[in-house]
Amino acid sequence: VYTGPAAPNRYGIRPGHRWDGVDRGNGFEQQWFEARNKIKMREGLEYAWAMDE
């Protein structure tokens, strides 16, 4: 059983007896998290720009 920290995943699954915590994917979830963070950052910047005036 994997005991170290897990890579983030969109389902919030923690390593245990059903999953060993190893990402065997094609990088989709990493790209998904990056895109999601980029959208949130852009929304925050747009709001800051709107409130600046």
User: How remote is the C-alpha of 5 from its chain's centroid?
Assistant: 14
pTM for the predicted model, two decimal places: 0.54
Amino acid at 4: G
Number of Cβ atoms within 10 Å of the Cβ of 7: 12
What pLDDT is stored for residue 16 in this prediction?
A: 78
Enter the tokens of residue 51.
Answer: 């409130």
Q: Domain limits of the chain?
A: 1-53
Q: Is 10 within 8 Å of 32 (Cβ atoms)? A: yes
Is the CB of residue 1 less than 8 Å from the CB of residue 15?
A: yes
Neighbours of 22 (CB within 10 A): 10
What's the pLDDT tens digit per position in 1-53?
A: 667 777 777 788 788 787 777 778 898 888 988 999 999 999 999 999 999 86
What was the pLDDT predicted at 6? 76
